[in-house]
């Protein structure tokens, strides 16, 4: 499996995870990010996922190559020291230019499946957001989650009244999910930093919102 590498040293690899590829195979099997682990390291133990991304989210995914690196990365995530930036194209637009969503999240299951609900009884979830562009009934948001809850960015965009384009759970589900884990930084010694390119399926919508595609792409 040929997954582009955005960063690599002796401790970590940051993969540019394609949209639609789950990180785990799951009970039904099928391709997953873990299929490429044997190509990333020949050590007897590892590699390990340092965090998770939804299957339909593209972009920066940190993989630890050594156990000490895994523990350091997990501590950075747990303590809120990891800086994560997401780009989302959303349906509609927030009323302002920037703000913070503070909406606790809890998991809810029913016969149709499970989803995350915002409201009392959930775990604290906080996301900073700003509008980077608007156009054609859409907006381009940059979201920086301060916490790392499941589906946090997707639910918080819906809380703002503008679900992520193509979201099958919190939006209309038309087309593919337009969500990119754009950048990540871990303040380790030495630090880890990576930026993911915009995937092909998001480019047209982002251009409509004012994004200028680099000449190299």
Which pair of structure tokens corresponds to residue 28?
């039904």
The neighbouring-strand residues paired with 180 are 58, 87
46 vs 40: CA distance, rounded Å: 9
54 is catalytic: yes
**From 9, 39, 45, 54, the catalytic residue:** 54
> Do the beta carbons of residue 65 and residue 11 sit within 8 Å?
yes
Is the previous residue joined to 190 through a cis bond, with omega within 30 degrees of 0? yes
86 vs 14: CA distance, rounded Å: 15
> Do the beta carbons of residue 61 and residue 14 sit within 8 Å?
yes
76 vs 68: CA distance, rounded Å: 13
Q: Which residues are catalytic?
A: 54
């Amino acid at each position: 499996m040929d997954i582009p590498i955005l960063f690599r040293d002796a401790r970590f690899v940051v993969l540019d995870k394609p949209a639609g590829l789950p990180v785990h195979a799951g009970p039904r099997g099928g391709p997953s990010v873990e299929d490429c682990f044997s190509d990333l390291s020949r050590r007897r133990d590892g590699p390990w996922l340092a965090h998770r991304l939804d299957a339909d989210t593209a972009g920066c995914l940190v993989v630890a190559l050594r156990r000490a690196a895994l523990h350091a990365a997990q501590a950075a995530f747990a303590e809120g020291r990891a800086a994560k930036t997401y780009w989302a194209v959303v349906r509609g637009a927030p009323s302002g230019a920037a703000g913070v969503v503070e909406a606790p999240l809890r998991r809810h299951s029913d016969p149709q499946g499970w989803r995350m609900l915002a409201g009392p009884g959930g775990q604290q979830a906080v996301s900073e957001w700003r509008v980077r562009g608007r156009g054609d009934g859409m907006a381009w948001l940059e979201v920086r989650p301060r916490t790392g809850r499941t589906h946090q960015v997707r639910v918080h965009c819906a809380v703002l009244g503008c679900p992520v384009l193509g979201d099958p759970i919190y939006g209309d589900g038309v087309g593919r999910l337009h969500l990119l884990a754009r950048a990540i930084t871990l303040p380790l010694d030495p630090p880890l930093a990576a930026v993911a390119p915009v995937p092909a399926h998001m480019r047209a919508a982002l251009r409509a919102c004012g994004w200028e595609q680099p000449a190299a792409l």
